[in-house]
Amino acid sequence: MSSPQPTPALLTRQVEELLQHGGPLPIVAAGDPVLRRIAEPYDGQLDDALLDRFVAALRETMHAAPGVGLAAPQVGVPLSIAVIEDQARGRKEALQARDRAPLPFRVLVNPVYEPEGEARAAFFEGCLSVPGWQAVTARYARVRLRGQDERGQAVDEVFTGWAARIVQHETDHLNGTLYLDVAEPRSLSTDEAVAAHWSQPTAETAAEVLGFELP
């Protein structure tokens, strides 16, 4: 049985209560039902001022975690809203291998992506809602994203490389999907194990040693 659709009044009250204490918001961990629901399409359930405050809180929470993306369900709010931003810090060879470049702050509302081509890239990936773990996840190398921004303006943009990975990860959250659902199970590693054994720019060594195939 599906859950009833939350009313705008209920969502407003939920967001206001989340924001009342200030600071980063608590991040919901895997196992909470909100992460397995399809988020409600955003169609103005929050007034503009509250939406701006909520987006600012999502960005603050993402930075504090730290992470490169955060979806509204990850703070318990079942709306199709996510924020992304990547300063692309790290070793030059790793950034190049991942096709990772700075991604300015963006708000994604009701995003939907589709692959452009069949090429995929596989790297270790983590999630703020699955703390302490990472797994190799194959993602499309190039996707077309459609949706809106926080002002309701249409978004129709192609993302490549690591930015495409971020877009797919956050959009999946809004569809009730965690990265573990599409990751390579044999690669599942703690953050400490990744740092100790799998810090190479690519996942080839991990695939060989742990016994899984890359696309």
Q: Which residues carry a binding-site annotation?
A: 127, 169, 173
Q: Residue 80: what are its φ and ψ, rounded to 5°? A: -80, 70
d(CA 93, CA 164): 19
**81-86 β-sheet, strand order:** 69-71, 81-86, 103-115, 142-148, 154-160
Binding site residues for Fe cation, as ranges?
A: 127, 169, 173
Amino acid in position 70: L
DSSP secondary structure letters along 49-84: HHHHHHHHHHHHHHHHTT-SEEEGGGGT--BSEEEE
Q: How far apart are the first and last CA of the chain?
A: 37
SS3 call for 177: coil
Set 40, 125, 170, 184: catalytic member: 170
To the query of whether residue 170 is one of the catalytic residues in this protein, the response is yes
Q: Residue 88: what are its φ and ψ, rounded to 5°? A: 55, 55
Amino acid in position 73: P
Active site residues: 170
